[in-house]
Structure 1
């Protein structure tokens, strides 16, 4: 979609951009080769716009993502995703509770569409600091309010990355609710992990601390599932938006339905923590 975009050019908004498309200037190549592009725009804008299109090509070659994101309104930054997908990583965390600094991150998963990397508190969490800098874009669900502040506090660092928060992106197209609700709306099946939530993830960690390694494996599998499914949500959002702009041919291929997860899922452990959660809820009603 990026090559079809003109609203990053100063003085060109979405209304003018649509007019450019309607006149048959569909992409940057058209803008640089068809004299009509300059005629569509007022004289004081046309030269600057032409120069900006040429400069945009240069910035893409240099992988200067911020050149575009700093010029887009937040609701248009999604347009860079397809072109800079290799620079993006999906991220999700689990924690020991919701109250830092008393609580801490237990598991982090990164997924770049090909590789899955998982980091566990007390095992390999320090590796995350180096690995996250391999990417320029972080994609989360509710990461603005939860994941990223927790990470920055936990590691005492500031993440300079461009951030896409799918919670708000999906809400802009009418899909609201938590991650599991959005997944269900799109027909994503979590299989054996169906029904596990954030509170149960805390219980899994506690069970691991008591010596149950199967609980840790199940927790990792749950966190990986959360992270991998973010790609499906991002692609769904991207395809919805390009179709909305009348460029349906730019839709991305849907991600693989199921990705092999290395960690095992232990149904008996899940049943135990379901019982613990139910017992806690009943106690709360007394």
Structure 2
């Protein structure tokens, strides 16, 4: 589903009204005529569409991140997927006050970059990767990855951020990333490692085991790349469960 199929950002339009519009064949902004609803609602929708067209043409993901209800922000993905940045971190523990970020992987436009503590993992490098994206995508990143990065590197991460854990819950997909991947059929080339294993591998690398770092980086990258496959599946399933009508128009 695309942003242009959506009316829920409009003040006074909820999911029930949006579905009614779709059932009546108004499945895209281009289909809307103010006469199909009351005067006030018609004016609200028209005003929103006019502003939203300008913001979409400008690539302003932040406008739509603010406008959409939290449970519908997954709809931003189709429009901004070309410059979405999937990211994941590994750390030496769960508390950013006492633990360190060891690796961070970013996957954008088919390319994956991994930054490693003590090598190229710096505030400037992290900021550069995040700032280059229109939309950030993580799994449980709003509660863990972003606060950890902000505290560890003195950052203020303000980009629109789609945390895939919450759209997963809308589909009753619960548990950790690996469990959800397995449930929907995303396969990994290697056996899973736990957060405890990630810490162990990092400490082994600090003692001189380069193979341990290679293993840690490989899993960090896999977590990041697989997020795209996960979000592709989740947004498709949400579309099928929510939408009434035809979204083929571009």
TM-score of the pair, normalised by structure 2: 0.93
Q: Cα 1:43–1:125, aligned 2, differ >3 Å: closer, same or farther?
A: same
1:159 to 144, 157, 162: 157
Asked if the contact 1:3–1:27 (Cα under 8 Å) also holds between the matched residues in 2, the reply is yes
Partner of 2:67, secondary structure, is: coil
The answer as to 2:100 corresponding to 1:121 is: no
Query: What are the ranges of 5 or more consecutive residues in structure 1 without an aligned counterpart?
Result: 32-36, 252-286
Structure 1 distance, partners of 2:183, 2:246, is 24
Structure 2 distance, partners of 1:142, 1:74, is 15
Equivalent residue for 2:59?
63
Deviation at 1:55, TM superposition (A): 2.1
Partner of 1:196, secondary structure, is: coil
Structure 2 distance, partners of 1:204, 1:56, is 47
Equivalent residue for 2:221?
224
Equivalent residue for 2:176?
178
Equivalent residue for 1:263?
none
1:207 to 189, 204, 209: 204
Asked if the contact 1:113–1:231 (Cα under 8 Å) also holds between the matched residues in 2, the reply is no
Equivalent residue for 1:233?
230
Query: What are the ranges of 5 or more consecutive residues in structure 2 without an aligned counterpart?
Result: none
Equivalent residue for 1:19?
20
Partner of 1:63, secondary structure, is: coil
Equivalent residue for 1:274?
none
Asked if the contact 1:175–1:182 (Cα under 8 Å) also holds between the matched residues in 2, the reply is yes
> What per-residue deviation string (whole Å, max 9, x for no partner) do you get for residues 72-104 of structure 1?
110011111100112311110001122333210
Higher relative contact order (Cα pairs below 8 Å, separated by 6+ residues): 2
Asked if the contact 2:92–2:102 (Cα under 8 Å) also holds between the matched residues in 1, the reply is yes
1:93 to 82, 89, 93: 89
Q: Cα 1:250–1:205, aligned 2, differ >3 Å: closer, same or farther?
A: farther
Asked if the contact 2:5–2:247 (Cα under 8 Å) also holds between the matched residues in 1, the reply is no
Structure 2 distance, partners of 1:248, 1:190, is 35
Q: Which has the larger Rg? A: 1
Partner of 1:149, secondary structure, is: helix
1:110 to 106, 111, 128: 106
The answer as to 2:53 corresponding to 1:52 is: no
Structure 1 distance, partners of 2:178, 2:231, is 14
Asked if the contact 2:186–2:230 (Cα under 8 Å) also holds between the matched residues in 1, the reply is no
Partner of 2:141, secondary structure, is: coil
Give structure 1 regions of 4+ aligned residues with deviation exceeding 6 angstroms: none
Structure 2 distance, partners of 1:51, 1:141, is 34
Partner of 1:83, secondary structure, is: helix
1:188 to 183, 186, 189: 186
